[in-house]
Amino acid sequence: MPTQNLDSLKPGEHAVIRAISAETGLHQRLNALGFRVGKRIELVRRAQFHGPLHVRLGTTDVIMRASEAHRIQISQAA
Amino acid sequence: MKRVALLGMPNTGKSTLFNRISGASARVGNWPGITVDLMSAKILLGGYIAELVDLPGIYDLHGFSDDEQVVRRFLAHNEVDLVILVLNTTQIDRQLSLALQVRTLGLPVMLMLNMADEARRSGISVNTEAMSRQLGMPVATLSAKYGEGFPQALQLAAQTMQAAEQHPAPAEVQARLDTVTKIEQEMESIVKESVQIPVQLTDALTARLDKTLLHPWLGLPIFFIALFLLFQFIFTLGTPLQDAVAWALELGRTSLLDPLMASWPHWLSGLLLDGIYNGVGTVAAFVPLIILFFFVMTMVEDSGYLSRAAFLMDAFMARLGLDGRGFVMVLMGFGCNVPALMGTRVMRNRASRLLTMLVIPFSLCSARLQVFLFMTAVLFTPQQAPVVLFGMYLMSFAITFLSALLFKRHFKSSEPFILELPPYRFPTPRQILLRGWQEVGHFLHRASKFIIAGVVLVWVLTHYPVDAQSSLDTYAGMIGHFLSPVLTPIGIDDHLSIALIFGFVAKEVVVGSLAVIYGQQGDALTQLMAAQLDWVKGVSFMLFTLIYTPCLATIATLKTESRSRAFMWLSIGWSLSLAWIVSFVFYQGARALGF
């Protein structure tokens, strides 16, 4: 299964989080919002002009910049 | 007196709960160990008078954000008799982590699961008994917004506080805070045991609304139209209200105070009326605007749209070192800088908040617009005037962006930009009214003394010494004359420099002060000014007026909101230097080109 980063996902696509490579501060914030290895994640939409990403994890909708999404490795879900 | 701390994650309705418990009695106060304002209120809980403190919303007790540090410092420096933990029932599966973290502190704690109404709609049910047993703390569900379950929850809180015989001292809490505990697995197992969540729950209506409001091409136009309408609402309603306040104060003066003080010494009635009474009037003029502004902002914020605005504008604002929420405040600054500065409180990161506060004073507010309308009417034809005015707006935007670009390195945000998008909600009228009321109280409490003192000072400068024949002989005139080596190169003569000193109080008084300074009124004044000024001098004066310190109320608000005198001086210093540089380049450039 090829791994890629969250920021390469297209709107409407689902994936599973494989790893989070972030420093402690970012890691804790992501953890508190429900980002965990093995969780399913969906990219809902992207803002225009390389703006933030809108992702959904279970019951939680989150917006984040692409630079932060890049730290999250995923593998595409079937 | 007992002390109760209200703790919870963002978007859990914690502030709504705070308002419901405290009513309108909330105050803003300072606390040992921390540097931000916290709301607190005296309440009656289980027969005790208790002080309820609203701590900032946090995701993680051990995190590194500014707010998370504030909460830790508060708990490590203040005795707490009860912690009320507020979590969102619809997201309980991940929010329980905070409950387990708080439990390790050993403080008396009870858990309030808020938004029971939304949870029911989403098909989520919680077995509070099972959860209470597993967590080892009392659990109550309620809806702070509608009050359902609230009396029972409060009673449970009172019982919890009474049952706790002793609680750890702040130093002990600090020690426990330092030991980060492994809580992940426990959290998962409790959720598995006691909460049922439908798979992939989505609020269908929120998703539908987002489809339109965050649409790739429609999202931004809708955002700008919405902002424009809100802006129009605030300021078309606010201006007549401001006029009404001014009219009432003027009536009080002419019918009551003037006759009363007619026989008093001239200096005393002058000080009381032109100094202090006018100062009070300056403060009062902001009250309707602040109420209306927060009326609207509470709706925007609590409805969940502000986070959407951040999503739409972030691509652009990130390049300026600001975030999308800052953009909303900068735009609101075009109406009035003061509430816009107060509104930056929604930005929880201090660095990005300070950067936003540094650029807001460059927004061309409605008071400055009055000066420009007058000046363009004096100096330009009716065809030219709108073009000049439009140029001023462009300049205002350019200066705002330039300042953000120049200072973004010094106010670098250390927090990642990751925001939760809450589902759309309808704020209740009670929430909206309370917020407006609290913000006005905050403004009056903090800024009024500073503003009145400033108005009195400018009154002294522009009316003394007593033997002054014209305004050129007053202290203000002397200061203007003293500054002439600096102001002459930018085309501002002694008369106009006095107007600038008046304008320091409020831009509303500049046009009126010109009549005093030139000793003429109406058409005679415009003819005299048109004769004395050419358009190059006039535009240079307008540019300076646009960029230098907006008004005393803005400075007072900058100081109280930033809690930093140094930051206030940075803002004043930067805007004065920039105003001079821009005017200098324009004036000398135009003269060099032969105008």
Q: Is A70 exposed, middle or buried (0-12, 13-18, 19+ CB in 10 A)?
A: middle
pLDDT per residue as tens digits for the range B481-524: 898 899 999 999 888 888 888 888 888 778 777 877 787 777 78
Q: Residues of B with CB below 8 A from A37's CB?
A: none
The pLDDT of residue B116 is above 60: yes
Residues in CB range of B117: below 8 A, 6 or more apart:
B143, B145, B146, B148
Lowest mean pLDDT among B405-414, B516-525, B535-544: B516-525
The single residue listed with the structure tokens 């500073």 is: B450
Q: CA triplet B373, B584, B406: central angle to 5 degrees?
A: 90
Summarize the confidence of residues B180-185 as an average pLDDT.
Answer: 54
pLDDT per residue as tens digits for the range A2-39: 678 999 999 999 999 988 888 877 888 888 888 888 88
Q: Which of A32, A44, A51 sits opposite B60 (nearest CB)?
A: A32
pLDDT per residue as tens digits for the range B120-145: 888 888 999 999 999 999 999 999 98
For residue B188, the model assigns a pLDDT of: 67
The single residue listed with the structure tokens 């387990």 is: B100
Q: Which residue of A has its CA nearest to B124?
A: A59
CA–CA dist B265, B260 (Å, integer): 12
Most confident of A24-28, B1-5, B93-97, B278-282: B1-5
Q: Which two tokens stand for residue B592?
A: 């060099």
Q: B109-125: buried (b, 16+ CB within 10 Å) or exposed (e) per residue?
A: bbbbbbbbbbbeebebe
Closest CA to A40 of A64, A17, A21, A62: A17
Residue B19 gets the label, from left (phi > 0), alpha (psi -120 to 50) or beta, of: alpha
Q: Which helix (H) or strand (E) holds B44?
A: strand B38-45
Cβ atoms of B470 and B479 closer than 8 Å: no
The pLDDT of residue B13 is above 60: yes
Maximum CA extent, chain B: 86
Q: Which superfamily is assigned to A3-76 in CATH?
A: Ferrous iron transport protein A (FeoA) (2.30.30.90)
Q: Which of B63, B220, B310 sits opposite A29 (nearest CB)?
A: B63
pLDDT per residue as tens digits for the range B19-32: 888 876 777 666 67
Q: What is the mean pLDDT of chain B?
A: 85
Number of domains within chain B: 2
**B130 backbone dihedrals φ, ψ, rounded to 5°:** -65, -40
Q: What is the DSSP letter of B89?
A: G
For residue B177, the model assigns a pLDDT of: 78
Inform me whether the C-beta atom of residue A50 falls under 8 Å from chain B C-beta atoms.
yes
**Chains A & B: contacts with CB separation below 8 Å:** 111
Q: Which of B62, B91, B416 sits opposite A60 (nearest CB)?
A: B91
pTM of the model: 0.75
Closest CA to A56 of A7, A14, A9, A3: A14
Distance of CA B473 to the CA centre of its chain: 40
For residue B179, the model assigns a pLDDT of: 63
CATH of the domain at B47: 3.40.50.300
Inform me whether the C-beta atom of residue A39 falls under 8 Å from chain B C-beta atoms.
no
Tell how strand B82-88 and strand B2-8 pair up: parallel
The pLDDT of residue B462 is above 70: yes
The pLDDT of residue B582 is above 80: yes
For residue B108, the model assigns a pLDDT of: 92
Maximum CA extent, chain A: 32
Summarize the confidence of residues B79-84 as an average pLDDT.
Answer: 92
Instruction: Identify whether B420 is part of a domain.
Output: no
Strands (E), B63-208: 82-88, 109-114, 125-126, 139-141, 195-196
Contact B62 A28 (CB under 8 A): yes
The pLDDT of residue B316 is above 80: yes
ipTM of model: 0.91
Inform me whether the C-beta atom of residue A24 falls under 8 Å from chain B C-beta atoms.
yes
Closest-CA distance of chain B to residue A45, Å: 9
For residue B133, the model assigns a pLDDT of: 93
Cβ atoms of B530 and B485 closer than 8 Å: no
Contact B94 A60 (CB under 8 A): yes
For residue B374, the model assigns a pLDDT of: 84
The pLDDT of residue B180 is above 60: no
Q: Which residue of A has its CA nearest to B94?
A: A34
pLDDT per residue as tens digits for the range B553-569: 899 999 989 989 999 99
Beta bridge partners of A40: A16
Closest CA to B203 of A15, A78, A44: A44
Summarize the confidence of residues B423-428 as an average pLDDT.
Answer: 80
For residue B29, the model assigns a pLDDT of: 67
Tell how strand B2-8 and strand B48-54 pair up: parallel
Closest CA to B157 of B85, B226, B224: B85
Per-residue confidence band for B341, with pLDDT thresholds at 50, 70 and 90: very high
The pLDDT of residue B198 is above 60: no
SS3 B249: helix
Summarize the confidence of residues B230-257 as an average pLDDT.
Answer: 86
For residue B185, the model assigns a pLDDT of: 59
The pLDDT of residue B119 is above 80: yes
For residue B585, the model assigns a pLDDT of: 96
Tell how strand A53-57 and strand A60-64 pair up: antiparallel
Q: Which strand ranges, in their side-by-side order, compose the sheet holding B27-29?
A: B27-29, B38-45, B48-54, B2-8, B82-88, B109-114, B139-141
For residue B200, the model assigns a pLDDT of: 45
CA–CA dist B192, B214 (Å, integer): 34
CA–CA dist B526, B340 (Å, integer): 34
The pLDDT of residue B181 is above 60: no
Cβ atoms of B109 and B5 closer than 8 Å: no
Q: What is the 3-state secondary structure (H, E, C) of B319-344?
A: HCCCCHHHHHHHHHCCCCHHHHHHHH
Residues in CB range of B550: below 8 A, 6 or more apart:
B337, B361, B365, B367, B368, B507
Q: Which two tokens stand for residue B31?
A: 């606390």
Q: What is the sign, positive or negative, of the torsion defined by CA atoms of B94, B96, B100, B103?
A: positive
| Domain of residue B573, residue span | 449-592
For residue B24, the model assigns a pLDDT of: 67
Q: Which residue of B has its CA nearest to A30?
A: B418
How many Cβ atoms from other residues are within 10 Å of residue B349's Cβ? 18
**Of the candidates B201, B230, B264, which is a domain's last residue?**
B201
Q: Which of B202, B214, B318 sits opposite A54 (nearest CB)?
A: B214
The pLDDT of residue A78 is above 70: no
Rg (CA), chain A: 11
CA–CA dist B537, B277 (Å, integer): 34
Q: Residues of A with CB below 8 A from B9's CB?
A: 32
The pLDDT of residue A64 is above 80: yes
CA–CA dist B502, B545 (Å, integer): 11
How many Cβ atoms from other residues are within 10 Å of residue B418's Cβ? 20
For residue B87, the model assigns a pLDDT of: 94
Per-residue confidence band for B574, with pLDDT thresholds at 50, 70 and 90: very high
Per-residue confidence band for B110, with pLDDT thresholds at 50, 70 and 90: very high
**Of the candidates B132, B167, B201, which is a domain's last residue?**
B201
Cβ atoms of B379 and B535 closer than 8 Å: yes
Per-residue confidence band for B183, with pLDDT thresholds at 50, 70 and 90: low
Q: CA triplet B210, B9, B180: central angle to 5 degrees?
A: 130
Q: Percent of chain B at pLDDT above 90?
A: 26
Instruction: Identify whether B130 is part of a domain.
Output: yes
Residue B518 amino acid letter = Y
Per-residue confidence band for B155, with pLDDT thresholds at 50, 70 and 90: very high
Per-residue confidence band for B201, with pLDDT thresholds at 50, 70 and 90: very low
Q: Is B342 exposed, middle or buried (0-12, 13-18, 19+ CB in 10 A)?
A: buried
Lowest mean pLDDT among B147-156, B255-264, B294-303, B386-395: B294-303
**Of the candidates B175, B201, B227, which is a domain's last residue?**
B201
